[in-house]
Amino acid sequence: MPIRLFVALVALALFGPVNAQPKQRIEKADDLPRFNYEIDGQLEPLVRDDTKFAAFGAEVRRDTESTLAKYDIADRATERELLTKLLLLDLLDGRYDSALKRAALIRDLQDKPAAKLLSGLTARAIVAAERKAGNVTSSEYRTEVARSIADALKPLPYDVIANDLREAKASVETLGEGRLIGALREQLQPIVDKSGGLSSDLAPRVIEIKYALTYILPLKQTLVDAYESYLAAHRVVKQDIWAARDLTLPADRGYTPVRIGIWDSGVDTHLFPQRTVMDSGKPAVIAFDRYANPATGELMPIPSDLESRVPDMKARLKGFSDLRSNIDSPEASEVKQFFSTLQPDAYKKAVEELSLVGDWMHGTHVAGITVKGNPYAQLVVGRIGFDWHLLPDPCPSRELAERDARNMQSYVDFFKRHGVRVVNMSWGGSVKDFEEALEQCNIGKTTDERKALAREYFEIQKNALTKAMASAPQILFVAAAGNSNNDASFIEDIPAGIVLPNLIVVGAVDLAGDEASFTSYGPTVVVHANGYQVESVIPGGEKLAESGTSMAAPQVSNLAGKILAVDPQLKATDVIAIIRSTADTTADGRRRLINPRKAVEAAMTKKAA
């Protein structure tokens, strides 16, 4: 679970050159054009030197404007990503009128209420302050930025924007020059060293780093104070809609035990002693490592030289969680201090350790959500070995893709042999992920060659996963929608973009049912559940609040387990139908919130009939 590197960027709206020719429709992200940018030498001088950066930025601007002019892109999020590049380049080039126009038009493209209200806020403040102060370095400039943001935030509804604002505050609080330059040196420079350039998929990261160094880092305390001032003026606890909807199955009703597969990074089964399926006296576990080779053990292993670091990394995960909730804790203070002062040469170690421990604890956290309130739930573990390195290890290959494909069927066959009725899948990947990994590994001489290889490897895995799930119609597979704020079908995410009668895809909302800023969406995402700061257990027994569609999916797996405990004769399609029919559609029509109490009652009524 890699840390999100960059501060939250303002969202954009359509603003580009007029094109009299009909635009070509783009229905999939993979159909967008690719570009490559040659880079001579080191990236750090590129972001430090305005003249050098201007030439690079001009190339990116040319290709981005061309893409927007020629293509009608089906996914608004992808269009906004392209426009984000142009807004940041506008600011860096001093094209303030253009930047303001882009920021103003974004509201017609934004769908999520909080994003619509907050879009362009920082850009507008920067431009207004620079025009009044005449520079971007003086105390007058910083004062004007603070005033502009405060004035913009003041009339906005707290219950709508609070989560997004807390996340923005946490992103800025952990920002530091060393962290930015470390990412440049450790993640992007190795690619340039091998290939002599960056593709249009990775070039935006250079722009984001330049923007953060130029505008956000100098305003760090100004932004933090402005956000905190608004949050402190309200400090309202959002209404919990889930307490009234939830239910706990009584242990004395004699309902049927239900076996649930946790297809994830592994589970600390010691925390679930009465709820783990045993196989020959040991917990029922199937495992493959990150090289797709057979493995043993219930949890993703921690390298021996890092075992002593686990307590510190757990504390750091808690610190990030507390920051997201705007909780002032010792762990949160440590995280702010550590990452704000992190030196570039320490970046790789710090981020990889955190990614490793984040992956390691993930499956246990998911399992805790899945079994909550259901004494009839029994766990079967399917352990995946996730890669936690900054650069891929291993690199993509046809051999690896084929091993992964065989393993997908092995996982499902294992679940079938152990009588599993529900499988939770809080993970995913897209064809673009393959393409980016190939570039990082310097595999493929051109962008077209990488595109072809990525498609080949992706289709091998997608077809295998689809076939494996289809081979078990008696199992209900529950997938997380993804955290990229994209249409899962447009970017071809798997499993979220797959359509099968025994698969249900889940988006994330918060405690009050408001849409999470990160949640993906699209035609396959049919229900939503709480995925914001959900508390659960992690290996060792500590409690931690985590956010993501990874936390929303097991809420639905939990509900499915309760429905099947009440009526084990139901088919997977029946369970999906009950969950969908009892979900509540929100006023804006964008979300269908699960209602566990209504769903279980409907299952009971159906059984009685």
Q: What is the pLDDT of residues 282-298, one digit of tens each?
A: 999 999 999 999 999 99
Let me know if residue 323 belongs to a domain: no
608 or 199, which is more confident: 199
Both 196 and 230 in a single domain?
yes
**Residue entry with tokens 């499915």:** 560
User: Could you give the C-alpha distances from 322 to 122, 140, 295, in angstroms and in order?
Assistant: 24, 32, 34
Asked whether residue 174 falls in the same domain as residue 285, the answer is: no
**What's the burial of 226, exposed, middle or buried (CB within 10 Å: 0-12/13-18/19+)?**
buried
Q: What is the mean pLDDT of residues 508-523?
A: 95
Q: Where do we find the tokens 């882009």?
A: 102
Q: Round to whole Å and give the CA distance between 227 and 583.
A: 35
Strands 294-295 and 285-288, bridge-based pairing? antiparallel
Sign of CA dihedral 194, 199, 203, 205: negative
Neighbours of 435 (CB within 10 A): 25
- Average pLDDT over the chain reads 94
Q: Do 144 and 227 lie in a common domain?
A: yes
Do 178 and 269 sit in the same domain of this protein? no
Residues in contact with 91: Cβ distance below 8 Å, sequence separation at least 6, in sequence order: 99, 123, 126, 127, 211, 215
380 SS3 class:
strand
pLDDT digits (tens, 9 = 90+) for 10-21: 332 322 333 456
Does 339 fall in a domain?
Answer: no
> Residue 3 pLDDT more than 70?
no
Q: Does 228 share its domain with 262?
A: no
Question: Do you find a cis peptide bond into 394, omega within 30 degrees of 0?
Answer: yes
Tell whether 353 is covered by a domain: no
pLDDT of 2 higher than 80? no
Q: Would you state the pLDDT for residue 343?
A: 97
**pLDDT tens digits for range 175-230:** 999 999 999 999 999 999 999 999 999 999 999 999 999 999 999 999 999 999 99
Using CA atoms, how far residue 437 sits from 35, 63, 81, 391, 491, in Å, is 16, 22, 20, 8, 16
Question: For the chain, percent helix, then strand, then coil, each to nearest 5?
Answer: 55, 15, 35
Q: What is the pLDDT of residue 231?
A: 96
Per the structure, the complete domain to which residue 103 belongs is given by 24-234
Residue 377 in domain: yes
Q: Do 67 and 204 lie in a common domain?
A: yes
Amino acid at 218: P
Of 288, 135, 151, the closest CA to residue 214 belongs to 135
Is 497 found in the same domain as 416?
yes
Region 30-52: mean pLDDT is 96
Identify the domain boundary among 234, 264, 294.
234
Residue that is last in its domain, among 205, 234, 263: 234
d(C-alpha 322, C-alpha 545), whole Å: 8
Pair (142, 257) in one structural domain:
no
| Angstrom distance (rounded) from CA 85 to CA 74 | 18
**pLDDT tens by residue, 142-155:** 999 999 999 999 99
Is residue 324 a part of any domain in this protein? no
Split into its structural domains, the chain has a count of 2
Residues 280 and 166 in one domain: no
Determine the average pLDDT of the residues in 170-179: 97
- Whether 314 is covered by a domain: the verdict is no
- Are 169 and 270 part of one and the same domain? no
pLDDT tier, 549 (very low <50, low <70, confident <90, very high otherwise): very high
Query: Do residues 65 and 229 lie in contact, with contact meaning Cβ atoms separated by under 8 Å?
Result: no
Here the CATH number for the domain that contains residue 481 is 3.40.50.200
pLDDT of residue 107: 80
**Least confident stretch, 51-60, 267-276, 287-296, 586-595:** 586-595
In angstroms, the CA 205 to CA 131 distance is: 27
- For residue 529, which amino acid is it? A
Q: Sign of dihedral through CA atoms 127, 128, 131, 137?
A: negative
Both 156 and 259 in a single domain?
no
Residue 21: its pLDDT value, please?
A: 65
Mean pLDDT for 146-170 is 96
Q: Looking at the domain assignment, is residue 327 inside a domain?
A: no
**Within-domain flag for 42:** yes
Tell me, yes or no, if the pTM score tops 0.85.
Answer: yes
- Phi/psi for 233 (5° steps) reads -70, -15
62 and 192 assigned to the same domain: yes
Confidence of residue 590 (pLDDT cuts 50, 70, 90): confident
- What is the per-residue pLDDT for 609? 79
Cα–Cα separations (whole angstroms), residue 534 to 174, 231, 242, 321, 325: 22, 21, 12, 10, 11
pLDDT-based confidence at residue 236 (cuts at 50, 70, 90): confident
Q: Provide the 10 A C-beta neighbour count for residue 236.
A: 10
Q: Which of 203, 234, 265 is the last residue of a domain?
A: 234
